[in-house]
Amino acid sequence: MTDEPWANGRAIDVLICDDVAGIRALLRRLVNDQKGLCVVGEASDGDEAVAQARKHQPDVILLDLAMPHRSGLDALVEVRQAAPNAQVIVLSGFASSTIAAEALGLGAACYIEKGASPGEIVRAIEHVALGNHAPSPATAHRITTMRS
């Protein structure tokens, strides 16, 4: 991976959607500390996720599943409609292959368990932003993708 993830040198814009403020803060710091990545917005529930996706048109959306008002699964299709060029990474505390399959079936590019390392999350963001849906071999055990 080059220092600049985009060939044109533009940063990858990331929207963070999680109901826990501390998780959003950690993800914001992780993303903003990476050269070539930039947080453009945050949402604390499914309704805000849709509104923020529509407003910011991010390249990548990190979407938690367990959120109030509308779960990430319930919001996933509308988030994808609101930002059709965005790649959605479901970042969830659920380690269920059934839930992962459902999220991928609804259009998520990638499903990552919250126990993944910061490096795995960054690599997943870079991979999906560049149109890749296959994780690196080092992260494949924690990341489920729709396509290989």
Q: What is the 3-state secondary structure (H, E, C) of 59-96?
A: CEEEECCCCCCCCHHHHHHHHHHHCCCCEEEEEECCCC
Buried b (16+ CB within 10 A) or exposed e, 97-135: eebbebbbebebbbbbbeebeeebbbbbbbbbbeebeeb
* pLDDT band, residue 3 (cuts 50/70/90): very low
Write the pLDDT tens digit of every residue in 19-55.
Answer: 999 999 999 999 999 999 999 999 999 999 999 999 9
At 5 the pLDDT is: 53
pLDDT digits (tens, 9 = 90+) for 56-102: 999 999 999 888 888 888 899 999 999 999 999 998 887 777 888 88
pTM here? 0.85
At residue 52, the pLDDT reads 98
Within 1-148, where are the H helices? 21-32, 46-56, 72-82, 97-105, 118-129
Helix (H, G, I), strand (E, B) or coil at 15: strand
Question: For residues 46 and 71, what is the distance between their CA atoms, to the nearest angstrom?
Answer: 6
- Model confidence band, residue 2 (pLDDT cutoffs 50, 70, 90): very low
- pLDDT band of residue 147 (cuts 50, 70, 90) is very low
Q: How confident is the model at residue 7 (pLDDT cuts 50, 70, 90)?
A: low
Q: Which residue has the tokens 């991979």?
A: 127
Residue 135 has pLDDT above 90, yes or no: no
Please report the pLDDT score of residue 142 as a whole number: 45
